[in-house]
């Protein structure tokens, strides 16, 4: 046994820790603190404008910028992307736009193209699906400012500009396609009066569709009559828009204007993250707190009145005959800690839930302190993946501890199932969805190299860590039950209709879901409607309320179950709070049909596939919380009872 322990330690030292060290170095290299690394620009310094993916809330399928025949630079160069960016479908590349700090220029010609039938069809399809073009300048995304007339004329910002639009000429009913071929950029900067250097604090655009005209034949020195910097003529409207039709030429142009701003660099994201609906979030918190207070009152009543009274009366009984006359939870003390059916599977799910809880909790803490701001694109997803991998050690430990309590012996088999079951199911769904995206030739398809890296992280780090945790957990002394278990199982009396397992499980999931469903709306909106979500303070409060709600509703229903002399609480405690995942999926379905404009089958499959993964993860998380709450509760009440 000692030699086995030494070999396990050598394995850990030679394989696992070097891998962990490399990943930590990589994570440290990529780590970003918002507000730490501003870049100063002097007048005339070149600014790098980068292009990102084309996105649409109607299809949810991103495409690379140069999948459309936009004006390319001499050489297209891909920017280095982190794991989260690749999984999000970001494809960041250089662009032909030439910006020089605080040097405005008007009506710069980018290029001239002539559409053929294929390219015209591509543009029309993207305009039909309302695709938006995304760009980046100094790590700030391009936005279109839109005036809101309903809220004191406040300005909101939409990410990216539309490729084009559909419309009709006056007096005609025929619908035409028009492309936005002139972009009026506005770069906002904050200037330091002492050094005269400036920092970029805003990147805005107003897109126009304009049919450019010129005299004579086209050449490199041709001057436009519709947009001429020499005559100070610029594009101010789209009265003569540029049609998208085969054999028509399109001239792409742009303006660059610089505006000095009082906004400091550290606050430049505030406008992007402006929240006009914070009252709704406070309502969400208050609503959730009401649920928690209600449940806390019930738990307090059970713990301080009923249990105290019941335990006192039970301990005062003088004879066994009197004890047998008692009814309720006390009579099942000899069966309440009997191992459940499929105890191995329960251990796997509990271990996975611990892993998931650790990942979410640490991610939330980092996000609340601002380490995972939107300025670090893909940072949130990268952090979650790395934390999931490293939390495998806690998954192995938790599942092995519970497994040993159930008198299990094959801890290695259990550790392997814990390491592979949940990630395996998620990876299988993800692989199928990725194949569908790849079939659509979308940039959202995860490349083979990234898929291989994910599998390497899974089997190279997560699986060994689960085994290490399982080994440590199994070496610990088994958790002792507070009361002895009878050899012969007690017969469970016929239950009332409201104590039916299915009914009580479904009822138990309503309140945890009710505590989070308002915040869930904003999360779904940020994911599927391409908006920023950065109210992690609210989210952390809601998450804490969710933990408390799951624990309390499970304890209450577990007590009622035991009072009905039904001692099969192990699985029911997990499923009671875990059933909230069913309501999450039903709400996601409701959201799909009421808030989204998705009409394509592929996009619908992607939505429901990813929401199925999210609901499954939510089931594992909430189920584990409910299980541990019930586990603590039963051990507490039965350890207070004197058994002769």
Distance of alpha carbon 83 from alpha carbon 383, whole angstroms: 9
Average pLDDT over residues 456-474: 94
Domain ranges of the chain: 45-272, 342-477, 500-643
Nearest to 381 by CA among 397, 399, 396, 367: 367
Looking at the predicted structure, is the pLDDT value of residue 71 above 60? Answer: yes
Looking at the predicted structure, is the pLDDT value of residue 502 above 80? Answer: yes
Report phi then psi at 146, rounded to 5: -130, 130
Element (DSSP H or E) covering residue 634? helix 601-639
pLDDT of res. 18: 37
Distance of alpha carbon 154 from alpha carbon 276, whole angstroms: 10
Sign of the alpha-carbon dihedral angle for 590, 593, 594, 595: positive
- Count CB-CB contacts under 10 A for residue 257: 15
288-344 pLDDT per residue, tens: 777 777 777 777 776 666 566 666 666 665 445 444 444 577 787 788 888 899 999
Q: In sequence order, which residues have a C-beta less than 8 Å from that of residue 502 and are 6 or more positions away?
A: none
Q: Which residue has the higher pLDDT, 154 or 180?
A: 180
Please provide the average confidence, as pLDDT, over all residues in the chain: 83
Distance of alpha carbon 554 from alpha carbon 572, whole angstroms: 9
**Angle at CA 637, nearest 5°, toward 633 and 640?**
145
Read off the pLDDT band of 630 (50, 70, 90): very high
Read off the pLDDT band of 19 (50, 70, 90): very low
Contact 295, 553 (CB under 8 A): yes
Average pLDDT over residues 199-223: 86
**Identity of the highest mean pLDDT range in 32-46, 320-334, 481-495:** 481-495
CA-CA distances (angstroms) from residue 166 to 46, 181, 455?
36, 14, 44
Read off the pLDDT band of 286 (50, 70, 90): confident
Average pLDDT over residues 486-499: 80
- Return the minimum-mean-pLDDT range out of 124-133, 153-162, 258-267: 153-162
At residue 414, the 3 state secondary structure works out as helix
Looking at the predicted structure, is the pLDDT value of residue 20 above 50? Answer: no
Looking at the predicted structure, is the pLDDT value of residue 4 above 50? Answer: no
- Return the minimum-mean-pLDDT range out of 209-213, 393-397, 457-461: 209-213
DSSP assignment, residue 56? -
Concatenated DSSP letters for 162-206?
A: ESEEEE--TT----EEEE--EEEEEEEEEE-TTT--EEEEEEEEE
Average pLDDT over residues 118-127: 91
pLDDT of res. 25: 34
Looking at the predicted structure, is the pLDDT value of residue 389 above 90? Answer: yes
pLDDT of res. 17: 37
- Count CB-CB contacts under 10 A for residue 170: 4
- Return the minimum-mean-pLDDT range out of 85-89, 182-186, 346-350, 512-516: 85-89
Quick one: 361 exposed, middle or buried, by C-beta within 10 A (0-12, 13-18, 19+)? middle
Report phi then psi at 105, rounded to 5: -145, 150
pLDDT of res. 10: 38
pLDDT of res. 611: 95
Looking at the predicted structure, is the pLDDT value of residue 358 above 90? Answer: yes
pLDDT of res. 35: 39
User: Above pLDDT 70, what percent of the chain?
Assistant: 86
Contact 89, 443 (CB under 8 A): yes
pLDDT of res. 31: 37
Beta-bridge partners for 136: 50, 141
Distance of alpha carbon 289 from alpha carbon 519, whole angstroms: 13
pLDDT of res. 386: 93
Contact 392, 419 (CB under 8 A): yes
Nearest to 545 by CA among 580, 511, 508: 511
538-569 pLDDT per residue, tens: 888 889 989 988 998 899 899 888 888 888 88
Q: Using the structure block, give the residue that is written with the tokens 């309590």.
A: 405
Q: Which residue has the higher pLDDT, 425 or 192?
A: 425
Concatenated DSSP letters for 538-578?
A: HHHHHHHHHHHHHHHHHHHHHHHHHHTT----HHHHHHHHH
Contact 533, 526 (CB under 8 A): yes
Read off the pLDDT band of 8 (50, 70, 90): very low
pLDDT of res. 14: 35
Read off the pLDDT band of 29 (50, 70, 90): very low
Q: Which residue has the higher pLDDT, 626 or 155?
A: 626
Looking at the predicted structure, is the pLDDT value of residue 246 above 60? Answer: yes
pLDDT of res. 22: 37
Looking at the predicted structure, is the pLDDT value of residue 450 above 80? Answer: yes
């Amino acid at each position: 046994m000692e030699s086995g322990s030494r070999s396990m330690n050598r394995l850990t030292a030679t394989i696992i820790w070097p891998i962990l060290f490399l990943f930590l170095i990589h994570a440290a290299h990529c780590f970003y603190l918002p507000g730490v690394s501003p870049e100063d620009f002097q007048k005339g310094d070149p600014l790098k404008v980068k292009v990102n993916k084309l996105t649409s809330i109607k299809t949810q399928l991103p495409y690379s910028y140069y999948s459309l025949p936009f004006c390319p630079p001499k050489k297209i160069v891909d920017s280095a992307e982190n794991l989260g960016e690749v999984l999000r479908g970001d494809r960041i590349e250089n662009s032909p736009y030439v910006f020089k700090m605080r040097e405005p220029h008007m009506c710069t010609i980018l290029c001239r193209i002539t559409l053929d039938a294929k390219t015209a069809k591509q543009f029309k399809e993207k305009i039909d699906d309302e695709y938006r073009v995304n760009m980046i300048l100094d790590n700030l995304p391009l936005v279109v400012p839109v005036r809101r007339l309903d809220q004191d004329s406040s300005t909101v910002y939409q990410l990216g500009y539309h490729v084009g639009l559909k419309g009709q000429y006056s007096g005609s009913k025929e619908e035409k396609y028009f492309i936005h071929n002139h972009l009026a950029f506005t770069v906002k900067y904050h200037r330091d009066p002492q050094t005269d250097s400036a920092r970029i604090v805003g990147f805005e655009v107003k897109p126009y569709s304009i049919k450019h005209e010129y005299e004579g034949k086209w050449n490199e020195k041709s001057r436009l009559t519709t947009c001429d910097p020499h005559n100070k003529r610029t594009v101010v409207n789209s009265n003569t828009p540029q049609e998208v039709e085969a054999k028509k030429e399109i001239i792409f142009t742009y303006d660059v204007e610089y505006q000095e701003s009082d906004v400091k660099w550290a606050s430049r994201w505030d406008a992007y993250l402006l929240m006009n609906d914070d009252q709704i979030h406070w309502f969400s918190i208050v609503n959730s707190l009401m649920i928690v207070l209600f449940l806390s009152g019930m738990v307090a009543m059970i713990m301080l009145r009923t249990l105290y009274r019941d335990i006192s009366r039970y301990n005062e009984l003088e004879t066994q005959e009197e004890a047998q006359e008692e009814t309720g939870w006390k009579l099942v003390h000899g069966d309440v800690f009997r191992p459940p059916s499929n105890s191995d599977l329960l251990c796997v799910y509990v271990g996975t839930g611990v892993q998931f809880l650790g990942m979410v909790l640490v991610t939330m803490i980092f996000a609340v302190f601002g380490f995972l701001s939107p300025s670090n694109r893909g940072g949130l997803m990268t952090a979650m993946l790395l934390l999931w991998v490293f939390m495998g050690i806690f998954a192995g430990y938790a599942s092995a501890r519970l497994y040993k309590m159930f008198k299990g012996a094959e801890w290695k088999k259990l550790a392997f199932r814990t390491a592979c079951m949940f990630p395996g199911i998620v990876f299988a769904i993800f692989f199928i969805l990725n194949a569908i995206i790849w079939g659509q030739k979308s940039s959202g398809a995860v490349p083979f190299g990234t898929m291989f890296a994910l599998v390497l992280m899974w089997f190279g780090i997560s699986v060994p860590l689960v085994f290490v945790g399982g080994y440590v957990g199994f070496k610990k002394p088994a958790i002792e039950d507070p009361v002895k278990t009878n050899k012969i199982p007690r017969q469970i009396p016929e239950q009332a209709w409201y104590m039916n397992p299915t009914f009580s499980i479904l009822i138990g999931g309503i309140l945890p879901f009710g505590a989070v469903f308002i915040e869930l709306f904003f999360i779904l909106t940020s994911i599927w409607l391409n908006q920023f979500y950065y109210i992690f303070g609210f989210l952390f409060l809601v998450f804490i309320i969710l933990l408390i709600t799951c624990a309390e509703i499970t304890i209450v229903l577990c007590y009622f179950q035991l009072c009905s002399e039904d001692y099969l609480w192990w699985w029911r405690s997990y499923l009671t709070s875990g059933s909230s995942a069913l309501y999450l999926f039903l709400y996601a379905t409701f959201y799909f049909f009421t808030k989204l404009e998705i009409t394509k089958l592929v996009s619908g499959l992607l939505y429901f596939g990813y929401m199925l993964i999210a609901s499954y993860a939510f089931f594992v998380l909430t189920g584990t919380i409910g299980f541990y709450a019930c586990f603590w509760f039963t051990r507490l009440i039965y350890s207070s009872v004197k058994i002769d």
